[in-house]
């Protein structure tokens, strides 16, 4: 296969070598577990965390005479995913046997797709940044193909001093292998790409993206070259299971290759493993002794064929995806930056939309980003864990808008609701948090502060900026409850400014 370089070289992406600049070329093969109740070719459950070998049917155990039966939902999930990746859906695809021996693969072959995958070329738009100026840039990463295949089981070598065990629960679970073109140029781009891919799959509901449960893992292909030159020899780092490790694996592997090339050596095409403890990759096997899998069409399965109408139906039922949602949010007045944050997870976008319903979108966005996400970040929690509901955040915003509470008190109110729950308006009422708009009371407080600071009051006539200090003192004296506009006006008036 000839690879076409679709990216223009961009010097700011190169990493510094010791003698010259090098460009890193990366392509990812992502294995994403299909969200479905049962396996790709059997009715056994896909539930995570079950007792070893509890979810194994006769088909999964490869008992003689058992025949695979395609799970229609898994096929629909792969088509949905292809549509979400703006990809070509192939109306005819073929399942092939990929032959190899492994103790956790009872069939002696994996059913996969080789020449005719269910999904062809697609595109993922990835936002990378921020650069030193704080800007984000959209880049397009090509998808080569997506195919369906079976997962293997798990060999367990740490359960017994002299024996290895096999857990076949995962055997036969449907995977989508999503292969990118070699369009990625840095660890940051690769991390942004897989993050975006995961977001899209989660929006689609086709893969839960939980990398720590193994639902998503990546083979990372890395090569280096002098900018503008031909692609170099690549190494493939197998089965990397966290986004952070993907970044570390790319950087250490690129450094290793650059060091060899700068010493006048050559890169051997090989399969490597990333060791997170050491932060480096090590050789697993060279491509020379790579298996000849002897792919051939599985005689037990007919080619998959479906009509354009079937694809169109799935397409019309797709949910709104992150890019479309982001454009819509920007159209509703949000900045590109805020919109990107809000769509980064579907649950965050849903939360925001409930808050924004019937309210100013920018105010809703500020509250969700600065207060809600800020607090979740501070407490290392996810949006799913939030103790504050969209209605409660909306209630706080309404109280500010009506002038019942100040912005400062609103933050306190948010903290109270975070800890104790409750209705915003009732809490404001019962705890006397209402804003003081009674000018008589504010006037008295202003007079008091001025009387206590005659020197500053005198200076303020020359330096009007000092008014801010007086406003701060009055706000403090009122416990944040005075109406800031009223205080501002009265301070200026009493100090004789303007
Ligand atoms: P294989 O099946 O042997 O792994 P593929 O042609 O399917 O080979 O490529 C696998 C992955 O390697 C793809 O994601 C592709 O983008 C990537 N890739 C191909 N050439 C290079 C290269 N020179 N440097 C980095 N990645 C590459
Ligand atoms: Mg590969």
Ligand 1 atom closest to Cα of residue 181: 16
* Structure confidence at residue 17 as a pLDDT band (50, 70, 90): very low
Rounded Cα gap, residues 157 and 430, in angstroms: 62
Is the pLDDT at 43 greater than 90? The verdict is: yes
The per-residue pLDDT for 462 is 84
Q: What does the mean pLDDT of the chain come to?
A: 92
Count of CB atoms within 10 A of residue 468's CB?
12
Report the predicted TM-score, pTM, of the whole model to 2 decimal places.
0.85
The answer, yes or no, to whether any atom of ligand 1 lies below 6 A from the CB of 35, is no
- Average the pLDDT over 445-452 and give the result: 90
The per-residue pLDDT for 3 is 55
Q: What is the pLDDT of residues 190-213, one digit of tens each?
A: 999 999 999 999 999 999 999 999
Rounded Cα gap, residues 364 and 359, in angstroms: 7
Is the pLDDT at 18 greater than 50? The verdict is: no
Count of CB atoms within 10 A of residue 156's CB?
14
Is the pLDDT at 1 greater than 80? The verdict is: no
Is the pLDDT at 280 greater than 60? The verdict is: yes
The per-residue pLDDT for 69 is 97
Ligand 1 atom closest to Cα of residue 1: 6
The closest residue, in CA terms, to atom 14 on ligand 1 is 27
The per-residue pLDDT for 191 is 97
The answer, yes or no, to whether any atom of ligand 1 lies below 6 A from the CB of 221, is yes
* Domains of the chain by residue range: 11-310, 319-430, 439-495
Which ligand is located closest to the Cα atom of residue 24? 1
How does strand 165-167 pair with strand 304-305? unpaired
CA of 223 to the centre of ligand 1 (A): 10
Q: 51-55, 393-397, 453-457 — which is least confidently predicted?
A: 453-457
The per-residue pLDDT for 479 is 82
Entry field: residues in the chain: 498
Is the pLDDT at 56 greater than 90? The verdict is: yes
Cis upstream peptide for 426 (omega within 30°) = no
CA of 247 to the centre of ligand 1 (A): 17
The closest residue, in CA terms, to atom 13 on ligand 1 is 27
The answer, yes or no, to whether any atom of ligand 1 lies below 6 A from the CB of 112, is no
- 78 membership: H or E segment, kind and range: helix 72-84
Report the SS3 class of residue 184.
strand
CA of 104 to the centre of ligand 1 (A): 26
Q: 209-223, 365-379, 464-478, 479-493 — which is least confidently predicted?
A: 479-493
One DSSP character per residue, 311-342 reads HHHHHHTPPPPHHHHHHHHHHTT--HHHHHHH
Between the two ends of the chain, the Cα-to-Cα distance in Å is 76
Domain 439-495 has CATH 3.40.50.261: no
Task: Give the up-direction half-sphere exposure of residue 387: CA atoms within 13 A in the CB hemisphere.
Answer: 12
Q: What is the pLDDT of residues 308-339, one digit of tens each?
A: 999 999 999 999 999 999 999 999 999 999 99
Is the pLDDT at 436 greater than 80? The verdict is: no
Q: Which of 333, 332, 411, 426 is nearest to 374 (CA)?
A: 411
Is the pLDDT at 300 greater than 70? The verdict is: yes
* Percentage, residues of the chain above pLDDT 70: 95
* Structure confidence at residue 29 as a pLDDT band (50, 70, 90): very high
Query: Max alpha carbon distance in the chain (Å)?
Result: 99
* Structure confidence at residue 286 as a pLDDT band (50, 70, 90): confident
CB contact burial 20-41 (16+ within 10 A = b; e otherwise) = eebbbbbbbbbbbbbbbebbbb
Q: What is the pLDDT of residues 101-112, one digit of tens each?
A: 899 999 999 999
CA of 210 to the centre of ligand 1 (A): 24
Task: Give the up-direction half-sphere exposure of residue 44: CA atoms within 13 A in the CB hemisphere.
Answer: 24
* Percentage, residues of the chain above pLDDT 90: 75
Is the pLDDT at 14 greater than 70? The verdict is: no
Residue 153 is classified by DSSP as -
* Structure confidence at residue 461 as a pLDDT band (50, 70, 90): confident
Contact 405, 413 (CB under 8 A): yes
Rounded Cα gap, residues 123 and 141, in angstroms: 6
The answer, yes or no, to whether any atom of ligand 1 lies below 6 A from the CB of 172, is no
Rounded Cα gap, residues 10 and 128, in angstroms: 14
Q: 77-91, 284-298, 381-395 — which is least confidently predicted?
A: 284-298
- 28 membership: H or E segment, kind and range: strand 21-33
Rounded Cα gap, residues 223 and 46, in angstroms: 36
Q: Mutation test of ligand 1: which of 221, 235, 288 has the most ligand atoms closer than 8 Å to its C-beta?
A: 221
Is the pLDDT at 128 greater than 70? The verdict is: yes
Between 228 and 437, where is the model more confident?
Answer: 228
Which ligand is located closest to the Cα atom of residue 293? 1
């Amino acid at each position: 296969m000839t690879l076409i370089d679709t990216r223009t070289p961009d010097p700011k992406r190169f990493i510094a070598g010791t003698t010259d600049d090098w460009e890193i070329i990366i392509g990812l093969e992502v294995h994403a577990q299909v969200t479905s109740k049962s396996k790709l070719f059997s009715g056994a459950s896909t539930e995570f965390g079950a007792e070893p070998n509890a979810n194994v049917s006769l088909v999964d155990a490869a008992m003689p005479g058992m025949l695979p039966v395609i799970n229609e939902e898994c096929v629909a999930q792969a088509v949905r995913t292809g549509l979400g990746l703006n990809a070509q859906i192939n109306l005819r695809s073929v399942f092939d046997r990929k032959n190899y021996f492994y103790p956790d693969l009872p069939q002696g072959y994996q059913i996969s797709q080789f020449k005719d995958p269910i999904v062809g070329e697609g595109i993922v738009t990835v936002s990378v940044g921020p650069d030193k100026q704080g800007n984000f840039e959209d880049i397009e990463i090509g998808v080569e193909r997506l195919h369906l295949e079976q997962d293997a089981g798990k060999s367990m070598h740490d359960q017994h001093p002299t024996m290895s065990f096999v857990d076949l629960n995962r055997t036969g679970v449907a995977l989508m292998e999503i292969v990118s073109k070699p369009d990625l140029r840095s660890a940051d781009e690769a991390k942004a790409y897989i993050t975006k891919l995961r977001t899209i799959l989660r929006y689609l509901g086709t893969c839960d993206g939980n990398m720590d449960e193994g639902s998503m893992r990546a083979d990372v292909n890395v090569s280096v070259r002098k900018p503008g030159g031909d692609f170099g020899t690549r190494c493939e780092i197998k089965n990397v299971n966290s986004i952070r490790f993907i970044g570390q694996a790319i950087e250490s592997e690129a450094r290793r290759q650059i060091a060899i090339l700068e010493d006048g050596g050559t890169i051997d095409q090989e399969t490597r493993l990333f060791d997170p403890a050491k932060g480096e990759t090590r050789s697993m096997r060279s491509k020379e002794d790579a298996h000849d899998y002897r792919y051939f069409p599985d005689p037990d399965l007919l080619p998959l064929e479906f009509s354009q109408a079937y694809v169109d139906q799935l397409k019309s039922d797709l949910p709104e995806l992150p890019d479309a949602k982001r454009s819509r949010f920007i159209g509703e007045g949000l900045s590109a930056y805020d919109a990107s944050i809000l769509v980064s997870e579907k649950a965050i976008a849903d939360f925001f939309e409930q808050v924004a319903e019937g309210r100013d979108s920018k105010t809703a966005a500020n509250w969700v980003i600065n207060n809600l996400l800020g607090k979740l970040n501070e407490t290392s929690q996810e949006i799913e864990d939030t103790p504050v509901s969209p209605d409660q955040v909306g209630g706080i915003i309404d109280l500010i808008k009506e002038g019942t509470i100040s912005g400062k008190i609103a933050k306190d109110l948010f903290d109270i609701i975070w800890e104790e729950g409750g209705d915003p308006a009732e809490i404001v009422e019962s705890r006397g948090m209402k804003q003081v708009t009674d000018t008589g009371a504010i006037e008295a407080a202003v007079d008091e502060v001025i009387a206590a600071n005659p020197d500053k009051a005198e200076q303020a006539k020359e330096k009007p900026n000092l008014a801010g200090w007086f406003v701060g003192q009055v706000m403090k004296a009122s416990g944040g409850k005075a109406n800031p506009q009223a205080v501002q006006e009265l301070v200026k008036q009493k100090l004789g400014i303007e």
